[in-house]
Amino acid sequence: MGNWYFRCIIALFLTSSLSYAQNEKGCGFIYAQDKVRKVVPDYDAKLKLLETLASNGANKAATVTPTIPVVFHVLHLNGAENISDAQIQSAIDVLNIDYRKLNPDTTSIVVQFKNIAADINVEFKLASLDPDGKCTNGITRHYDAQTDWDSDPDFYDYTWPRDKYLNVYVVKTIAGGQAAAYTFLPGSVPAAMDAIVALHDYVGKIGTSSAGRSRTLTHEVGHWLGLSHIWGNTNNPGVSCGDDGVSDTPITKGHSWCNLAGSTCSPPIVENIQNYMDYSGCPRMFTLGQSSRMNTVLTTYPERINLVSASNMTVTGIVNPNYNCAPKAEFAANPSTCEGNQATFTDYSYNGPVTTWVWSSIGASNTSTIQNGVLTFTSTGLLPVKLKVGNSFGEDSTTKINFITVMANNGSTLNIAQDFEAGSYPNNEWIATPPQFGSGFAQTSTVGASGQKCMYINNYGDNPNQKVELFSPKFDLTNVTGAQLSYKYAFAQKGNSVDELNVFITTNCGQTWTNIYTQAGSGLASTAAPVNTVAYFPQSSEFKTQLVNLGPYQGNSNVHVKFAFTSDPGGAGNNFFIDDINLTGTVGLKEVGLNASDLKLYPNPAKTQVTLFCSTIIKQVDVFDLLGKHTGSIQGSNSYEQILTVSQLAKGVYFIKVTSNSGTAFKKLIIE
């Protein structure tokens, strides 16, 4: 007998075996094995122990029909992956049909296996009580970028206790792009990872999925209950003859198309091509031996035995379910806005109908009680947002810390020279987003391009393994020509690491961002910094100056820049340093249709008031400082003369811009 515990993690079933082989997702076995070995050093030893336990418990069967409580965790960005409750229920229905041998296509099982096709005597039902004993419909929904499922083992953030629930994650993509689903053997992984991960379009048979893909979870649950592929421990069907350790499934290479008379390994013995644990594309059955093994797991394995206990039926709400539930709060928003601006939040609450909403934040000047809340932010920095929802059955609230970045409106306009020497950074003007794991941008006091301080990311010792960002205050480029962004950075690769820096710009407070610079891997390494296999700390001479033309954004009064650093996804990156972020250019005060000789100001210099004369009707008056920063607007008098109050202006030199029927002109004004 072969090693039954090895299994490929994904089954993809289509009525057309040719279409299956050519168009459907492949096997996730290597992906899953690599994941688990990162966090379970004795993984292979655990598998051997599980094989022994399963063999000793062979031929056990449930005397009553057990029910496994199931919870689906839908991770989405409000795309097609946010599948309906009905599609999830259809997945439960398929499981119950297949595991109780109620599928009508059993009539076409070939004669060699018709008599051993098994009713597994196991059923599945969505839980109606959550781990806290609160009402649930067995479906959680989370607006979460992890819907693009990566290879990090820590991404199992929502798993309910594995001894009480079968957890299924529904996602948009799986890293590598080849797997449609995967899972692990009972007892082989930490509790949070003991779940099935499946693409949304391989769940159920309606909505984004189809009947041809609907048995993906039938196959995955087989793995979750201890079954190997019927060809044993090879990753792919057709590689070599193998045995799954179940006595009534013949030795086989496995098949990727439906050759019902296939007998490759031990002719003339026909192989069990119609088994749910094969890849043939014509699945119909489990065998009696597979039924025995799965029921053995349910009656002997510590991680599974409580699932079908009478007490668990009560605590998960399988007995006497009640679906009159209070809602669970969930929401999303554009992650950035500007000080003084409104931000709109999208309600994604679930679990029950919502009748009341209350949105709030310590940085907002208001609360909002509409479904998609609107808050006005008067503070800057990384701010929390809270949503409280309710209906007649109860209330729920969630607060998301550091949820929205509110960018400052009071930054320097031009000739900024941020060297990070004076003060502490990040702060509420230079804002840094913290990663979920590892380090983000921080100030160092020992390294700098032109001093002793700069911003850096501890990407060697505390790799964030995701994007971290540094936001600038506002730049006003209304009357600037030759605008240019410059900064100095230092970076050395660690081996072949693919760390990446992107620079983005926005003119609409973060509603949209435009990428104006990108570099990665060896291209990001600063000129004097070679590949470095130890933690990199540069000399000042190793900083490289990068220039970015901002000419396309001249004329915009509300410009913000952000630096986004993405560390090597394998955790093999090195430290990154940035300093001397400068914005330079020339203030230009362009006159159209008028000129300075058409304007008169007196007294000039002035202290509190000044009288303005224009050769044509005055429509609007704007005030700019020497750097071109717009400091205020005044409605015109629709006459040739207007008295301006200037007592609010600090001492210095300003330019008065007058808009009239004939055009615009500027006049210098001195405040003393």
Active site members: 220
Look up residue 593 and give its DSSP letter.
Answer: B
Q: How far is CA 420 from CA 65, 443, 471, 564, in A?
A: 67, 8, 14, 18
555-572: buried (b, 16+ CB within 10 Å) or exposed (e) per residue? ebebbbbbbbbbbbbebb
Structure tokens at 516: 């104006």
* DSSP-based three-state secondary structure for 382: strand
HEC string of 328-372? ECCEEECCEEECCCEEEEEECCECCCCCEEEEECCCECCCECCCC
Looking up tokens 């515990």 gives: 5
Of the CA atoms within 13 Å of residue 145, those in its CB half-sphere come to 7
CA angle centred on 460, ends 456 and 466, rounded to 5°: 75
Tell me the angle at which helices 85-99 and 216-224 cross, rounded to the nearest 10 degrees.
60
| CB count in 10 Å sphere of residue 129 | 22
Structure tokens at 513: 């961002």
- Rounded distance between C-alpha atoms, residue 246 and residue 227, angstroms: 9
Look up residue 106 and give its DSSP letter.
Answer: G
Rg for the chain (alpha carbons), in Å?
Answer: 33
